[in-house]
Amino acid sequence: MRGIGAGVAVVWLIVVMTMPTAAQEAIFIVRHAERTDRSSDSTLSADGEARAERLARHLRDAGIDAIYSTSFRRTLGTAAPLSEALGLEVQTEPTLGPDPMGSDDGVSRYIEGLVARLGERHATDRVVVVGHSNTLPALLAALGHPEEISIAGDEYDNLFVVLPQPVGPPTMLRIRF
């Protein structure tokens, strides 16, 4: 009897290991575009608005199912042209808090909540996330990217495409736009 139970367990393990895991098909992660000033809730500059329009043109045919952004004007402004082009509401929950460059604990809680929300609501979707120079590297790490990523204060042209894999770390592409 023990041999049969062990055999069934081995077959079950093989089946489970060969099944693809549920994960987002792709996650597009982008920092907000250029801002007008260094205030905590600045709007986009003219260059930032132009970059947001470029982002929308690049992603409008990518099959995006959901758009997430922090609740700051610069991130919402970056997401707006794509949101309008696709007819999708920008999701702002979970919230980051009053200062996106705030404590690591606040960023960690935000990233933890965002990753959970993506897994619960968008298990097989293509999702765009608009964030900040400190939230993007933390999000990439939380999604399993093994290398540390840094984004300089004056870098607004990064678009990260994360492709989760059934086994191991995701494939990540870093594109400048």
Cα end-to-end span (Å), the chain: 62
User: Taking a C-beta distance cutoff of 8 angstroms, is the pair 34, 153 a contact?
Assistant: no
Topology of the domain comprising 21-176: Rossmann fold (3.40.50)
Number of Cα atoms under 13 Å in the Cβ half of residue 160: 29
pLDDT at 9 (0 to 100): 42
Rounded to whole angstroms, the Cα distance separating 166 from 170 reads: 8
Q: What is the pLDDT of residues 32-84, one digit of tens each?
A: 999 999 999 999 999 999 999 999 999 999 999 999 999 999 999 999 999 99
What is the sign of the dihedral through the CA atoms of 65, 71, 72 and 73? positive
pLDDT at 105 (0 to 100): 81
Q: What is the pLDDT of residues 110-161, one digit of tens each?
A: 999 999 999 999 999 999 999 999 999 999 999 999 999 999 999 999 999 9
What is the residue extent of each domain of the chain?
21-176
Q: Which DSSP category does 35 fall into?
A: B
pLDDT at 96 (0 to 100): 83
Rounded to whole angstroms, the Cα distance separating 162 from 74 reads: 23
Q: What is the pTM of this model?
A: 0.84
pLDDT at 100 (0 to 100): 64
Chain mean position to CA 177: 17
Order across the sheet with 126-131: list the strands: 90-91, 66-69, 126-131, 26-31, 158-163, 171-176
Number of Cα atoms under 13 Å in the Cβ half of residue 175: 12
